[in-house]
Each structure stands twice: as structure tokens, then as C-alpha cells.
Chain A
Amino acid sequence: MDTRSKNMENDTLPDKGEEITKQPSGEEEKKKLPPKKGSVRYKLGAKWIKVLLFFITAFLAAFICVAFQIISSCDVVWDMSAAIAGDEQPRNKTGSYIDNTGKILTSDIEKLYAQLYIAASGAMRYGYDLGDEYIETLNNEIDGYYPDAGNIYIDIYSAPRGVRYENTEMHYYVSYGDKFSTNITGLSGGQTLASLKDKLDSLGDQYYIRFKNELTYGGTDTGRVYSRIYNDSLYTDKYEKSEPHLGLCKSYYDKDTKTHIFDASGVGSGYIYVIPEDQNLLYPVNKDGSFGEINYDGSKKYVYDSKTDRSSLKDVLDPLDDSDITIAVAVKPDKNDYAALRASDDEQLETTQFLIIGSIIASAVLAVLIIVLTLRCGYNRDTGTFTATRLVDAKFSSEVFALFMFAALIVTEIVSKNMYSTLPLTSDKSAYSSYALAAASYFALWVIGFGSFIVIVRKLKSGMLFKTSLVCMAFRYLFRRARKGCDAAAEKLDNTRFHNFTVSQKFFIRNIVFGVFTGGLVLLLVLAIIENWPVEDMGILEVYLTFYAVYFIWYFLSGLDYFHDSDKLCDKLDAISEGREYDGETMRKTSPFYTRFKGLDNLDEKIKKQADEMVKSEKTKVELVTNVSHDLKTPLTSIISYIYLLSKEDMSDEAKDYVKVLQTKSEKLKTIVNDVFSLAKAASGAEIKNERLDLAMLVNQTVASNSDITEKAGITLKTKIPDKSVYIIGDGDKLSRVFQNLYDNAMKYSLDGTRVFIDMQVHGDTAQVYFKNTSAYEMNFTAEEITERFARGDKSRTDGGSGLGLSIAKTFTEACGGAFRIELEGDMFKAVVGFKTVE
């Protein structure tokens, strides 16, 4: 309650750093004590260290994310480089391109070739569009090499299929696919298309090179990409093994099906021509060199004639003006090259050694820091407990932080995707700003995401997570409402006749109802099985099962309530019987034990009232006795004084005897008054000053202080008292009175010449003192009678004593917490005083 209210107060305070201590619990006490001030542990617990560590994690996370993206980008670059290498653009050890003779290629065109190749290849391989920015860069670069070349047009939308060079109008579109590039010996950049063409031509039937607006080239190959099989007007796409994937528009010969396939999908017409060898099919070639539409009707057969094909191609190839060809661009189709693997080792190491090693170290450090922060967050070095701060413990904040955390995760995903596509492929200086921006975004996202995570962990540790959660509070509220509703309903039920039943009757009814419902369930199940109900008819069973499940939960929980309530009842009974205050839970009004539970309160009250009254009446009694004894003492004082004065007067011997009697009797009266008074006081328990004392010494002192009387009385006293100390708790003055009285008693009533025994025995933790003597008179009374007030062994005797001796002994002993008893056996009188010993 305390911390709650403190919490509330804090909410209104502007002080941010205010800490809320966790509610004290039993477990917490067992926890380690907070570290000593000034110790290393204490110093390490400083808040600024944790904040610093937190920002270090954000820094590391940002670094790792960006590094991974750069590495991924590099990966693309490597693959592209590898592809070039795979095209047998050999390089020397320093990485410069060389030709077959080992001459280093230095011309701009060579470099450009490589670059274009990279762009196209990368785009092709990874299936994403090249970034606009990159293309812009590329354009500018090419412009730099060929200021008069006009625009380099990179067809980004069909990028996978090729790169075109545009000079005012699109003149050339040259490409080659897969193996061709690797198989053409000596083909490199800087060659004219003519030389390229010648080269290709020299290789025989394998190449088609077409040009003008829609050019297609291709060659036969065993691989296939996909085929679209026409069958009447319907067609089906068939994707098949695509190794190697043919890059640009292509046609090839499929040996398995003996079919020529012309794929023109990449160059505008969007058709694939499937020309089975054994079928006749018109092969229209438009006059401008482009293909006409081929309609396959299934009846015409096309017989492939390389010559025809060739010649027709020749026709279109003829007008090729070599002088216009500036660049021959090649695209390597797919990732089936081992070249990438070949090139990876040194390239990777060179470029990314720092990033990879750095990332590994950073990841390790980050992992450690995350663990440390997760474990230690919220630790208060002053109290040694885990706390949450007021700032982050506002009501309903749990969900907000959870939301922050997930939002950060999602945004990171989006950002990383975005970054991936916009990050430059090469790491030139102009890209630094992009990396910085990316790093900043990751940093911010990490701070928000991981920060929220830490806050949630802190809440969890300090037990505030569910207290500050809207959902949990809502649930609690609903639960309370439901409980209230149930109670109200139950109360209504209790006001009916059901209320009058005894607990066992209620139990009986409950169990009967339970039996009926369960029986119904069993019956339905059996019916369903025997009758083999169709699925559609199971509805009733499902409804019943749902109802039964709800009922059973209620039955179970309310049953628990019954037992719990009876436990409470028993606890309360125990508390009352032990005189404790019952501090357990109260009982719900609807409980069948409620009235009894309340009844116990009345009982408890009554008992307490009686006890109070007893104390009160005892007090009144003591007051009465005090007053009476005072009233008695005043006249007695006069009497004693004047008798004394009288005794000094001259008078006859007879008169002197009378005065003597008066003196004795007045002394006795004084004794009685004092005894009555002290007895009344002791009975009320007032003025007992208990302390630790040696019982053996006390008895010894009593015996010793009376030794002269013993000698005079002519009675032999036998004592058997342990030499060692026997410690008890008691009031020394009162106990000396007890033993003095017992001693006096023994002396007074012992038969002459007999022995009086004072024994002390210690057994375990009890010590008992025995006073034994042989009575001179017949003891015609019981042990109970003798300790009654004003009892006297010999009722006729009137000399000495107030008759309160044993009564005082008993009362004083008991007032000090001891036990007193008298045992009579023939003429043997035995008084026993028992005490519990202490260390």
C-alpha cells in the first residue's frame, strides 16, 4: 500500500529520477545486501555506466547492420567481377585486366565494357532493378569517356536482358549469351561489332546476330529457360531447368525435343517461337529484318534449315555498318559460374576483411552487452533491489513500450530493404553519406527498439509490468466485475430457501446436480457413439460440452472456495483458542460459512470482554483491599502506640499481663492486615518484579537466615540442595516470603524431636523444592483446604500467624510463574514449589 501511494505521489512530481522501490516481499529479504559504498561493485552499478553501455550497443548495432549491407553489396560486385573473370577477361595479380597475351588492358573502352557488364550482369543475376542513381552515375561515367556519344541508354526495365547503347537513335543491340562469351577466344572490349560478328560467324551455326530496332540473336544450346507450349488457343507456361539461362532474346535448339525455340520476349514482340523440327512452320521474317508473328496452327511443319535461317539472317545482318558500333556488350546470364567462387577468396579478403572481422567482434561484444544490460538493468546499487523509474512506469505504459519495440522492428525491416536497394554497389566516396544516413537510422531504431525492450525487462523485474499494463488492468477490472456479479447472483440465491440448508445439504445438492450433468454428458457421448451420429448432428453434443466445461470449471472453483473458506474458519478458531488476533482473509458474504465466521467474532469479543471484566474486578478488589487495609492501619497505629505507652506506666502485675496480651494481639492484628493486603496484591499480579535468580542460593539464604531459630526450636533441619546454581525467573522478595512461610510453617507445626527436610531436585528443565515435616497435629483437612485463605491446620489454634501463610506461599509462587502444591500422607506434610529452570 505504501509504495503504491508513494508511486501516486511521484506521478505528480516533476522529478524524473525518482526511484520507486519494489514492494517488500519475503524473497527479497533473502537477496544479497546492496554493495558497500565505494566498492568496485558499487561503482560499476553507476547509472551513467549503464547509459553509456546502452549507447555503445546502439553504435555497434548500427555498425553491424551497415557492414552487412556493404558486404552484401560487395558480394554483388564480386560476383560481377567474377563473371568478368569467368568471361576469360583474365587479370594479372594486381587485378588489372589483361588480354590473352598478358598485355594489360588500359583503354577506356575496356573499363567501360567491364562496368557495363557488371551493371547488366548484376541486374540480371539478382533480378532487381538497378538503382536510378547508379544508372545516372553510369551514364555520367560513360559520358566522361565518350562525350559525344549521346545518351547511354540502359534499359532498366529489361535490364536482365541487356544493355543498349544509344546514340540519338538506337542502333545496336548486341549481346551474347552464356557460354558464348566464355567460348569466344580473344573476344574483348574495344572490338567493333564487325569483328565480333566475324568472330561469331566463324563459330558456325551457333550465333544469330540481328540488329536494328528489334534485334535478336541467339544460338543453340542444350539449356532451356522456359517454354510456352501452344495448343490451339490455349497455352501453358512451362518453367524448366534453366542452366544456363539464356540471356537476351535468343533462339536455340533443343536436342531432346528436336525443337527450335526462338525467344523474342525480351525485344518487344513478346513471343516465343517453338518450332519443332519435324513440323512445317512458316518462319516469317519481316522485310525490315524483324520477325513477323508466327501463328502456329499445328498443321504446318517447319523444317529447320540452317542455311535458310542463316541466309535470312544474313540479309538483315548485311546492312550492318561497322563504323557505328562503339561497344559490344555482353551479358552473362545466370549464376552458374564457379568463377564467383574462384574469385572470392582474395577479393573478399581485400575488400571486406575489416568489415567482416569488425562485425564478428562487434557482434560478440554486442551479445555480451545485451546480456549484461538485460540482467543488470533497473538494479539500484543503494538498495540492492531492482527498481523501475517513475518516468517509465506511467500507467498503461507497458503496451506503449511493447508497441515501440515492434514498431522499431518493422521499421528496421523496411529501412534495411530500402537501404539494400539504394545503397551504391561500389564503395566510392560519394556513398559515404548514404552509409552515414543508414547508420544513423539504424542507431535511432536500435535506441528506440532496444530501449523499449530494456524498459519492459525492468518493469518485469520490478514487478511493474502487469501493474502498468492497460490490458492487465482491464482484465483485472473485468474479473472484479465478474466476481461481483457472481457474488450478487449467489447472494440472491442465498436469500431463497437454499439459504436455510445446512452446509452438508448444500454440498449434497451440489453433488446431485453435478451427477446429473455428468450423467447427461456420458449419456450423450454413449448415444453419439452407439447411434453413430453423423457429423452434422454433433452440434448438440458440442453445445452441451461447452456448457458442461463452463459448469465444471465453476463446480471445481467453487468447490475450492468451500475448502478455502473452511480453512479460514479453522484458522480463525485456532487464533481465538490461542488468544491471538485473527489477521487472515475475511470471508465472502455468500460463503455458507459466513454466518459462523461472523459468529466467531462475537465469541471472540465476548471472551475478551469477560477477560477485561475480570481484570477490572480484580483491580477493584485490590483497590478495596488497599483502602480497607489503610482504614484498618490508622486505628491500629493508635492502638499499638498507646498500648506501648501504657506498658510503660506503673501498674499492677495483673494489669501488666493484660497489657502484654493487648500487645501480642495488636501485633498479630498488624500481621494479618499486612498479609491480607499483600495476598490481594499478589493475586492481582501487580508488583511482581521477575528477574533471573539462583533458586538454590535463595533456599540456602532462607535456611541460613533462620539458622538461629532452627537451633532454638530444637528441631533438626536436613537440607539437600545442589551445589551448582539453578537459575529460574522469579521475584526474589516474593519467593523468599514463600520459603520463609514454608519454613515457619514447618517449624511451627512440626512434632518436637522430628526432622524437617528441605530438598531440592532438578530434573531436566524443572526444579522442585520440597519442604517435608511430620505434623504435630492430626491433619484433618485436604491439600486444597489448607491453601485456602485463612485456613489453618489446627482450627482451634489461635496463636501466631495470620492463617494466610500457605495461601500466600501458593499465591506468590503462582504469581511468579511457578507451581505450588501440598501433599498430605498420614502425618507427613509436604509442600512442593516447582519452577522451570533457565540457562
Chain B
Amino acid sequence: MISFKHVSKSYTGTEKAVNDVNFEVEQGEIVIFLGPSGCGKTTLLRMVNRLETITEGSILINDQDIGELNEIELRRKIGYVIQSNGLFPNMNIEENVTIVPDLLGWDKKKKHNRYKELMQLIGLDPMEYRKRFPNELSGGQQQRIGVIRALAADPPVMLMDEPFGALDPLIREKIQDEFLQIQREVKKTILFVSHDIDEAIKMADKIVLMRDGEIMQYGTPSDILIHPKNEYVSQFIGRDRAIKHLSLRTIAQLQEEIGLVDIDQSIVDSKQVNVHENLKDTLAMLLNQEADQVIVHDDNDEVQGAITIDRVQRYLHLEMRQKPAQAREKEKVIE
């Protein structure tokens, strides 16, 4: 668990880059620091491994104040991934991946085994790449190597500073998926800086939305999309927040809440969709008018029913109006 307690950062003569930040991160969560450039998100991230000094307040990892730890040892226990060029060009891939184990004094065999393990994690042939250098790899491959380098000494905490920001959109999505897959296995506590709202919605368990060094809202992506706390937040996440929210929900969830419609057997022109498809893509498909009817089936290819724009709209109404209203009612009763 990581706690930020009244954390502030000021450079001499300027206003605060980070101003009285308070929040807690649970173990195994991905928390994304989101905001425009200059909002202090990177500074906040870099304070965790003390690449930036903390002016006021403290950051605790598992109740241990990081200010009291030796900074070199602290950094070796925290994985660190940066946007681009973070690999050392003078070292080959194996040396790059095993740099932290090497600094920690692991023996050769242990390092090599760890290298092989990590390369398999991202589906690259360890032997083919070990003697190659970063400049011989594509941008996407370099970034994946950067990620496994951070994982090498199995640190409980990872810091990632716009790790996928320099990649083109197609590769970025692929690597995001791959990373989520890895995270499901390794369950690290991850602090992640991004300026991309879609990336944050996709990757984050929680989002820290920042402006001018202050937290505007801290919550789950769904929470922020449904209840933006203030004008700034709702502006930042955009007018299409309902549509964005649909990307967090699947047809299966809709089916559970309000059910699907019956299939009209007389319609010939129909398309199939899996029940685990997210609602944003489903809606896009419906809007594209690709067929007269969209039939939902489950993983065993059993037909569940049909989905329509009207269903999606009903579901949104439930999620964004009825449920919040019910929640408010409940709060009143408790009061």
C-alpha cells in the first residue's frame, strides 16, 4: 500500500508544482495519474522513487516513510519505466533487462534464467535477442523490453511515466492489452502517468485526475465518468463521457440488468456478437447499420438474444440516472 500524505513540491520562486496531495493506493492496483502537461503528475510520480525531492509531507510504502530509506536501495526496489529511450544503448538486450539484478549482485545463472523468464512473458525469443542492441529493435519492442526490465528484480511497486505515449495507436493498444495480461499474473502496485483519457479508462483501477498540482478527483474510471466532481473534471473527460463509460461495460452486464430483446426470426440480414463484447464497440456496430439485427451469443455459441440501440440507451439511463438517484435516496435514509 502506498500513501501520499500532504505531499507538496515547490521549486524556489514559483508556485507549487504539487500541492497538498492526499490519497492511498491499494496493493495490486493500477492507479493512473491523469491530467494535462504541467499538472504535476510526472513530478508526483518521480517523488515516489525520490528522483524528485519532497518539499512537504511524506510518501509511505507499506507504512515505511520513503524519506527514511536509502534512495539507491529504494530505487532498486521500485520498477521504473519511462516514455522512450530508457534502454541503455551501449548495453545489449540481456544486459538491459538484467541491470537491476546485476546492481543487486545476483549471480550469472540466476540473472540469465530471469532474463529468459521475462522474455517469454512478452513472447520474444530470449536467445534471438540477447546479444542485440536496443537500436536494432522496433519502438514497440523497445518499450516492452523497458517494461520487463522494470519487472526484473520482482519489485512490488512499479512507476510508469507515459510508457506507451510514443507508440503509434495500433501498437499502443496491443502493448496495453499485453501489459494488462502480465499485470493479471504479477499483480504489482502500479503508478502510471498518462495524459490520455482513453488509456486511463482502459488501464486504471483508479484514476487521479490532476490540475495545477492538485487532485481534482480520485476514483474508479466508472466513478469519474458517471459522477464528475466538478466542471473541470467533466470538461477534461469530455462530452462523450457516457460513450466512454460504455467501454467499461459488456453486453453480459447489460443482459444481467435489463435483459436482451427476443430474436425476430423473420429478419434474414443479421450479425453475430459475443456477449463479452464491450458496449461501446457494440453501439458503434449498431450505429454503423451493419445489419438489420445484431444477435448476441455466448462463448459456447449459444444464442442469448438480440441487442438494439434502444437497449443500450435503456441501460445507460439505468446506470447514469436511476442508480445514482437510488444511491442518493439510500444516503438520505441513513442520515
Question: Are both chains from one complex?
Answer: no
Seen from chain B, the residues whose Cβ lies within 8 Å of a Cβ on chain A are none
Which chain A residues have a beta carbon within 8 Å of chain B's beta carbons? none
